[in-house]
Amino acid sequence: MTSITTLFSVILILMVSSNEALRLLVFFPLHSKSHSILGQGLVSRLLEAGHEVVHITSFPRDKSVTNLTEISLETLGMKMKEEIEKYDVFKLKNFVGKGNIGVSFFFIYFTYNVHKRILEEPHFVKFLSDPKQKFDAVILEWFFANEIAGIATLFQCPLIWFSSTQAHWQVLELVDEIPNPSYNVDLFSTSTPPLSFWERVGELYTMIKNMLIFGVLVTPFEKSIYNNVFYKIAAERGVTIPSYDEAIYNGSMLLINSHPSIGSPFRLPQNAKYIAGYHIEKQVAPMSKDLKKLMDEAKHGVIYFSMGSNLRSMDMTDHMKNSLLTMFGKLKQIVIWKFEGDLDNVPVNVHLVKWAPQQSILSHPNLKFFITHGGQLSTTESIHFGVPVIGIPVLGDQHVNMRSVTNKGFGISITLAEDMANDLLNAIEEMLENTSYRKKAKELSYIYHNRQQSPGDELVFWVEHVVQTRGAPHLRSPALSIPFYKKIYLDLLFIIISIIYLLVKATKLLVCKRCDRNQKAKKKD
């Protein structure tokens, strides 16, 4: 009886401890609405699970929320955004006729500058220096910057990385070995597996080039930021922190905003998990009465067009805007176009909205399809609601996303161009006439939803698991503890070459000795 009571007590203690509220720090560095949506969604799921969250964000909420403390970087974010807008870098018209922006010097400087200025922001530094601030885990969005790993070292708690895109070699490297480039393409690649010989060569070249660029140009600056910022704060907090190299590879978990139904089925280590769709609310918010009435009464259905939150349709050239308006005006369908400004001579079937409740529109049964830039949130939401897409990829991972969409058969991709109206019209007509795209979208949506847990519940589970197991060391990949030269057996190759060299030398010596004996024997004769 005593043993049963003891066992019951242990189980009860474990149950109580597993349900304890955690104190978690969440940080999404970029001043970007789409990245903010992911950050806010993650925070919402943790709050719903009863945990306390401190959120460092450039987009604070309008109303206070129980158990949520926000450290606002809105002022700094707006300042950096205004500085970028002066150069017109991210205006849509500037991407016409250009290839995808990969790891360019501008991209490197942009990401470096964003993280450096945030980590040196006085209000943020004061928060990090406060010895009263303690956390059970730190969740950080990784966006081509490793030095923010130092935040977790200050609080002496597990680090959970978050990837806002599909899995790719630069983020997987933090928790495992670098994936094989013969069948894993770069995030900014234009190739699609299976790769041809020259495509495999190209992927290998891109990987080596980027490793050298980051190793020579980026890493030294990141180490400088890490050393200048975190060692000083650590001294004030009275803690000892590891070196930069130790800190960045000390992540306990990698949460990936993707899913095999949407992107590539990467081979993942045990501590990397797909959680795409967690930001989508279980109950979609109702749309305005006017918009609902418009969609309900559309006899021929509705087409929704949006280029996302960072790329604005108003930044198209006048020719592009007018040609699209003329083309949309020829359609029977109602076109809802997320357009941030005003236009003249808008056809009666085209409705411009400066902000669109995207999830509400995608969930409406009268929607035919979605014309999108191919961002990760848009493609995820399309699959979630089983909606086919026409994509106009512009930069970043949008090209990779749209290649996945076309390969999986639930969408069509066209090239951003001044005269793209005709190509877009052809794609629209194909989408309207061919039902296979919608069927495929519904099929993939079933695969997407057919999981053991909802993505939000899975996110919470793994965060709690990391804390409860003190960093989940049992899931850590052994590849992190093995030097590169051992992974590719350079030591074995060295030994084999050495043995062959010694055998050749020994053979030569034996041959020479035999020759000498033969010559001496001949002289005696």
Whether residues 295 and 428 fall in one domain = yes
Q: 139 and 445 in contact (C-beta within 8 Å)?
A: no
> Using CA of residue 283, residue 285, residue 287, residue 289, what is the dihedral sign?
positive
CA distance from start to end of the chain: 103
Q: Can you read off the two tokens belonging to residue 97?
A: 């006729």
* Local confidence band at 5 (pLDDT 50, 70, 90 cut-offs): very low
Cα(373)–Cα(112) distance, integer angstroms: 26
Q: Containing H/E element for 42? A: helix 33-48
Cα distances (angstroms) measured from residue 340 to each of 309, 333, 352: 10, 21, 8
Q: How many CB atoms lie within 10 A of CB 415?
A: 10
Cα(64)–Cα(465) distance, integer angstroms: 28
Q: How many domains does the chain have?
A: 3
Contacts with 508 (C-beta within 8 Å, 6 or more apart), sequence order = none
Cα(467)–Cα(153) distance, integer angstroms: 15
Q: What are 155-193's pLDDT values in tens digits? A: 999 999 999 999 999 999 999 988 899 988 888 887 888
Whether residues 271 and 229 fall in one domain = yes
Whether residues 87 and 235 fall in one domain = yes
pLDDT of 252 higher than 70: yes
Whether residues 119 and 231 fall in one domain = yes
| Predicted pLDDT at 282 | 87
Whether residues 140 and 237 fall in one domain = yes
Whether residues 171 and 222 fall in one domain = yes
Cα(484)–Cα(467) distance, integer angstroms: 30
The three-state secondary structure class of 408 is: helix
Whether residues 261 and 397 fall in one domain = no
Would you call 312 exposed, middle or buried from its count of C-beta atoms within 10 A (0-12, 13-18, 19+)? middle
* 42 assigned to some structural domain: yes
Cα distances (angstroms) measured from residue 223 to each of 124, 147, 174, 176, 227: 19, 7, 16, 21, 6
Whether residues 107 and 135 fall in one domain = yes
Q: 383 and 441 in contact (C-beta within 8 Å)?
A: yes
**Average pLDDT rounded to a whole number, residues 495-524:** 84
| Predicted pLDDT at 516 | 75
Tokens 């030591």: give the residue: 491
Q: 250 and 152 in contact (C-beta within 8 Å)?
A: yes
Whether residues 181 and 295 fall in one domain = no
Whether residues 477 and 433 fall in one domain = no
* 33 assigned to some structural domain: yes
Whether residues 432 and 385 fall in one domain = yes
Contacts with 216 (C-beta within 8 Å, 6 or more apart), sequence order = none
Q: What are 373-421's pLDDT values in tens digits? A: 999 999 999 999 999 999 999 988 898 899 999 999 999 999 999 999 9
**Average pLDDT rounded to a whole number, residues 294-316:** 92
**Average pLDDT rounded to a whole number, residues 301-318:** 91
| Predicted pLDDT at 348 | 95
Domain span at residue 180 reads 20-280+454-481
Cα(413)–Cα(405) distance, integer angstroms: 8
